[in-house]
Amino acid sequence: MKEKDLPALMIGGHAVTALGYARATFDLDLLIPCSAAGDWNVALCGLSYRLFAESDHFHQYEAPADFPLPPIDLMLVDDEVFLVLEQAKLPTQPIAVPCVRR
C-alpha cells in the first residue's frame, strides 16, 4: 500500500512480532485515519478483498478463498489521533507501529 500512499500503522499480533515478541496470528491489523477509509476500501477491493463487517470505527476484509492473503482488519481513528501516533511511530518494517509514550 506504500505505492498508493495510504496511511497506516500496524497494530495487533504482527506489531507485537515486529517489536521482537513471538505471537501467532494470521490477520493483519492496521490503524488508519477515518479520512482514509474510502481510499483503503478502493485499494483493497482492487486486490479482490471483500468488506464483510463494518462499524463506525472497524472494517474487516477477507480475500477470496483461492487467494492466499490474510484477512485485514482496519481500526479507524480520528485524523488528529492518527497524526499524533504517526509522529511517534517506531520504524518497523514493512509497516511502522505506533509508539505510546508513558
Contact present, 72 and 28 (Cβ < 8 Å): yes
> Exposure pattern of 16-46 as b/e (b: 16+ CB <10 Å)?
ebbeeeeeeeeebbbbbbeebbeebbeebee
Asked whether residue 92 is assigned to any structural domain, the reply reads no
Question: What pLDDT, on the 0 to 100 scale, is given for residue 1?
Answer: 58
Query: How many domains does the chain divide into?
Result: 1
**Residue pLDDT, tens place only, 43-102:** 999 999 999 999 999 999 999 989 888 999 999 999 999 999 888 887 777 778 877 654
What residues make up the domain containing 9?
2-87
Does residue 40 carry a pLDDT above 90? yes
* Residue 43, domain CATH: 3.30.460.40
